[in-house]
Amino acid sequence: MRKSKGDNVMKTLTITKNNFDSEVMNSDKPVLIDFWAAWCGPCKMVSPVIDQIAEEVTNAKIGKVNVDEQPELASAFKVMSIPTLAVIKDGKVVASGVGVRSKEEILKMLEA
């Protein structure tokens, strides 16, 4: 389900340890999380795609975790390389992937 141009545009959420439970674990929708860092070249390639998806999808939340600012979350998800993408449904990781992904691949992850 995609939004039309006139709808309220959902922006990408900044996920931190402070809002993780409310935005991710207690979400009634699947949540796609992009684990990234400012110094990461591949992350810079994925970031605009993640932002685009956040503007288009209505059936999921899209969030980003800066691994340098949120090391506890990166550790909890065993993030070893970035970008790492994870889809959480009902408090469980149902899909994940490491590295640059196409928009189509990321959207497929949301269908998992």
Per-residue pLDDT of the chain (112 residues; tens, 9 = 90+): 444 444 445 589 999 999 999 999 999 999 999 999 999 999 999 999 999 999 999 999 999 999 999 999 999 999 999 999 999 999 999 999 999 999 999 999 998 7
- DSSP 3-state of 31: strand
Residue 2 lies in a domain: no
Q: How far is CA 80 from CA 47, 51, 77, in A?
A: 18, 23, 9
Report the candidate in 1, 106, 108, 112 with the shortest Cα–Cα distance to residue 45: 106
Active site residues: 40, 43
Q: ∠ CA(94), CA(98), CA(101), 5° rounding?
A: 95
Residue range(s) defining the domain that contains residue 35: 13-20+29-110
Domain count, the chain: 1
Instruction: Give domain status of residue 6, yes or no.
Output: no
